[in-house]
Amino acid sequence: MPNRKFVAGNWKMHGSAASIAEIVRIAAAVPSGVDVALCLPSTLIERAARAVPGFAIGGQDVHAEAKGAFTGDLAAHMLHDAGASLVIVGHSERRDGHAEADATVRAKAMAAMAAGLDVILCVGESLAVREAGAAVATVSAQLDASLPPVPVRAVAYEPIWAIGTGLIPSLADIADMHAALRARLVAAYGEAGHGVRLLYGGSVKPTNAAEIFAVADVDGALVGGASLTAADFLPIVEAAQGA
């Protein structure tokens, strides 16, 4: 049986108090057949969680340690305490911009789950790797080295060259990658690997969502720019509902 679709928004470094009204608009219109979450800047998590009780609010990163001298970082229990129910780990903007290795991503995922947060673990290849024909092998190895011992809620395949560029891989390339990642998840977790949501991320828009959701083993999407407004995000959620 196919997994229920899961569409998560990643607001990155966007949003302020005035954005709570947009979050309320999104939460109020979510159809019953899709799981939806918004991963917000830390400054908005508590306000949003109060404004839309029962709707999944997440963070975008977490520290692997529970406390200590880590200026600017947040521990998993702090995100949970603020009202988050999930967190993204291993986004390429963290891996590249903050030099996060696979082992760090794995440790973050373990810390998040220990604090009761669901995890969306991101993997993806650069354009150079894609052009060298090494995307599936590279991303599979990245997943193997990043996965914690207990199944994560979701893995997001996000080709780095597709994020924020308007480019997406061919549907056949998405299918190939998701089949390979599903095999890695089953190798790691046995039957439970089939239940990990495999999300595609990178320039998902209202105009391409339905065709992406129709690809085998695509269980939803991680959406950046198009998650910032109800006008863009809700048609993507509705495409997931209809898939």
Site membership for ligand PEP, residue 164 (CB under 6 A): yes
Q: How far is the CB of 139 from ligand PEP (least distance, A)?
A: 15
In this structure, what are the phi and psi dihedrals at residue 158, rounded to the nearest 5 degrees?
Answer: -130, 95
Site membership for ligand PEP, residue 202 (CB under 6 A): yes
Please give the DSSP secondary-structure letter assigned to residue 120.
E
Site membership for ligand PEP, residue 203 (CB under 6 A): yes
Toward ligand PEP, which CB reaches closer, 195 or 206? 206
178 among known catalytic residues: no
Toward ligand PEP, which CB reaches closer, 1 or 118? 118
How far apart (Å, rounded) are the C-alpha atoms in residues 67 and 65?
A: 6
91 among known catalytic residues: yes
Helix, strand, or coil here: 39?
Answer: strand
> Quick check: 207 and 233 in contact, CB under 8 A?
no
Q: Which two tokens stand for residue 140?
A: 């599979």
* Interface positions, 5-34, toward ligand PEP (CB under 6 A): 10
Cα-only R_g, the chain: 17
Q: How far is the CB of 42 from ligand PEP (least distance, A)?
A: 17
Toward ligand PEP, which CB reaches closer, 55 or 161? 161
Site membership for ligand PEP, residue 168 (CB under 6 A): no
How many residues contact ligand PEP, by CB under 6 A?
13
CA atoms within 13 A on the CB side of 48: 31
> Quick check: 169 and 125 in contact, CB under 8 A?
no
Site membership for ligand PEP, residue 142 (CB under 6 A): no
Which residue has tokens 């090494």? Answer: 134
Helix, strand, or coil here: 136?
Answer: helix
> Quick check: 212 and 183 in contact, CB under 8 A?
no
Query: CA angle, 11 as apex, 24 and 94 as ends, to 5°?
Result: 150
Part of the chain binding ligand PEP (CB under 6 A), chosen from 49-57, 130-138, 143-151, 219-227: 219-227
Part of the chain binding ligand PEP (CB under 6 A), chosen from 62-70, 126-134, 142-150, 220-228: 220-228
Site membership for ligand PEP, residue 159 (CB under 6 A): no
Positions annotated as catalytic residues are: 91, 158
Query: What residues line the site for ligand PEP (CB under 6 A)?
Result: 10, 158, 163-164, 201-204, 222-226
